[in-house]
Structure 1
Amino acid sequence: MIGCIRKDNEQMPLARLIGDAEQFSVIERVRAIIRQEAAALETLANRVDEHICTIADHILSSTGIVVVCGIGKSRLVGEKISATLASTGTPSITLDPVDALHGDLGRVRPGDIILAISNSGETAELIQLIRSVRRLSVVVAAMTGSATSSLAQAADVVLDIGQMQEACALGLAPTTSMMAMAAMGDALALILQERRGFTRQDFARLHPSGSLGHQLMRVRDVMCPLGSIPVIGPDTPLSLALLSMCCASRKLGVAAIVGEQCKVVGILIGESIGRLVERGATLDLNDPVKQHMQQPHTTISEHASLGQAAQLFRQHEIELVPVHDDQERVIGLISRQNVQKLV
């Protein structure tokens, strides 16, 4: 029995719940949709030609950015493409054609690459935008399902995805075509990434937060460099060492005790000195700091991963580890607390 709800004074049917007997046919329909989209991607792969190389060359030789434009579902796909470009080393923004025609065209600069997305290639606002932007020295690339469309004819270069049969039973909802455009956008972004020589370190720089970025970060990315830590000799009087810690630009409460050849021989921790005073110990401020410093159990390379640093802290049950460069010279300190925040 089909129920109904009232909305705006109209009777609207409620779809029946899926019964056990129908589950098999539903599952088969889902599989058919996925297979149809997979087949569309295979067809798209066979359609790829030298035009994607032309677009890549324009982008790589340009001093501008990639401006991705679209309306409706194409706009949503464009946002994904633009985000993938930006995160893999190709500067990119999205631009709504309607907003562009009402002032946001000022975001476009000479040297930019316009990537206009429309399955039909007849989106009026997008075509009007292309005509307006022609006053600037830009390259217009079109991604469309019709190589003979108005958009394709207005563009400098065309990525033709071909006519796609939508997976929607009505043949109307943009599904297969949008997936094909997203895949073509991924391909463009990734060949640009590879041709730029974009490295794991570059990726980490653009993804400083989240699990992806943290996996790629190195000790040098989170350490406290020596420039922010007092560096003193082992024979420095305790009074001067404590004063230098108080006057440091970053009051971290620590000082690195460095001996010959820039080797760390110890770490002076203000908190440890404070605990001694709280317990009633009498300190001679003329004592050399080597009498109060903590000798480092180990050091770690600036190139080590945060995972390796976390393992080192667990192994030695310490709070601070000196960081050294390729010449074994100390260049900073890394703390357990900073690593735990990220790993």
Structure 2
Amino acid sequence: MSSAAQRLIPFSQFERLRSGREIIRQEAEALLDLVKRLDTGFCLAVQTLLDCPGSVIVCGMGKAGLIGQKITATLSSTGTRSHFLHPAEAVHGDLGCLHANDVLLALSNSGETEELLQILATVKEIGAKIVSITGSEQNSLALRSDVVIEIGRLREACPWGLAPSTTTTAMLAVGDALALVVAQARGFSPAHFARFHPGGSLGQKLKPVTEIMRPREQLRIASVHASVREVITGTARPGRRTGAVLLVDDDQALAGIFTDSDLARLLETRRDNGLDEPIGHVMTANPLTVRAGAVLADVIDLLAERKISELPVVNEDRQPIGLIDITDVIGWLPKESGE
């Protein structure tokens, strides 16, 4: 049998593939329509979350509740205090977690979810504001909300138009947009993100260079006016040797770098007389550096893009405070994981 024949997809598999693609296409089209539908209700919701002095309490039943748990996690990880409240548990005492300075983010496509509607009067009595993500501005949930984000009347992607699929995809997209726009408005930075993700692949990538670098006391640092020979013989340090000497000017600011490769080139070209010349004549002037606020991901990109092995870390006065050595970075490279 030819290889072309072996690659033919049986008709039953073809139909399954076509059906899967159609479902994804329907959901993608729904999201594109949602982009056009998003209006001032979204802006009001963002401002309501920004003005919230307490927590965002996300509430939803069934599949909407599962989406709500994901939105809760996204809000929390991007700097907005958030908790999930199951509406069925809420009517049996868990409403006690809600306070007047909180915002209830309610999710329901139909807006008629009985368990959710049951708690709204109490939420109003408590004094918390209600933001809803729902299908229409005219359903029971929307009419009792302070702010409404309308996702529209969407047809579910399942063959019978019943199983929550397109609607939950739309809710998740709106929740992501809400959380991330609020984070942007708050000036949320990668440093803040790292604080909430100390573990896993993300935590490793966002480690500050100050945790990875070799500190100043372990470095070979010399004046640009010293000779190559003086620098090589006079900058020995205990412990593991770095492959570069950092060269500073009279103000102790970094002026250049001299690596083992530079020394090898001097010897290979038989420029032995260069060993007694000022090292400033043969150093790499104004080398690439990073500031102490950089993170591991930035360092990896720089080392790979510029194909260098040593990267000085400097302070605001360009004085060297550390050195990133590629061999150290390899030890910090995050292993692939679920996050």
What's the TM-score bracket when you normalise by the shorter of the two chains?
A: 0.5 to 0.7
Which of 86, 106, 117 is the equivalent residue of 1:96?
86
Compute the TM-score of the two structures, normalised by the length of structure 2: 0.66
Quick check: 129-138 or 169-178, which moved more?
Answer: 129-138
Separation in structure 2 between the aligned mates of residue 113 and residue 105 of structure 1, nearest angstrom: 13
Q: Map residues 24-63 of structure 1 onto 2, 5 A cutoff.
A: 24-63=14-53
How many residue pairs are counted as aligned between the two chains?
Answer: 268
Separation in structure 2 between the aligned mates of residue 311 and residue 332 of structure 1, nearest angstrom: 16
Note the alpha carbon deviations across 1:270-300, whole angstroms, 9 max, x for none: xx9xxxxxxxxxxxxxxxxxxxxx7994467
Change (3 A) 1:191 1:305: closer
Report the counterpart of residue 340 of structure 1 in structure 2: 331
Separation in structure 2 between the aligned mates of residue 154 and residue 258 of structure 1, nearest angstrom: 68
Change (3 A) 1:38 1:118: same
Higher relative contact order (CA 8 A, sep 6+): 2
Which of 141, 160, 171 is the equivalent residue of 2:161?
171
Unaligned ranges ≥5, structure 2: 1-8, 224-234, 247-288, 335-339
Quick check: 330-339 or 192-201, which moved more?
Answer: 330-339
3-state SS of 2:133 partner: strand
Alpha-carbon offset, residue 304 of structure 1? 4.7
Q: What is the alpha-carbon root mean square deviation over aligned residues?
A: 3.5
Residue identity opposite 2:142 in structure 1: A
3-state SS of 1:135 partner: helix
Q: Map residues 56-205 of structure 1 onto 2, 5 A cutoff.
A: 56-205=46-195
3-state SS of 2:126 partner: coil
Quick check: 160-169 or 19-28, which moved more?
Answer: 19-28
Unaligned ranges ≥5, structure 1: 1-18, 232-254, 273-293
Alpha-carbon offset, residue 135 of structure 1? 2.4
Alpha-carbon offset, residue 37 of structure 1? 1.4
Residue identity opposite 2:120 in structure 1: I
Compute the TM-score of the two structures, normalised by the length of structure 1: 0.66
| Aligned 8 A contact 1:88 1:193 in 2 | yes
Report the counterpart of residue 211 of structure 1 in structure 2: 201
Change (3 A) 1:155 1:324: same
Alpha-carbon offset, residue 209 of structure 1? 2.6
Change (3 A) 1:222 1:200: same
Change (3 A) 1:323 1:339: farther
Alpha-carbon offset, residue 112 of structure 1? 1.0
Which of 6, 9, 12 is the equivalent residue of 1:22?
12
Report the counterpart of residue 257 of structure 2 in structure 1: none
| Aligned 8 A contact 1:306 1:339 in 2 | no
Residue identity opposite 1:27 in structure 2: L
Change (3 A) 1:118 1:28: same
3-state SS of 1:134 partner: helix
Quick check: 178-187 or 200-209, which moved more?
Answer: 200-209
| Aligned 8 A contact 1:266 1:295 in 2 | no
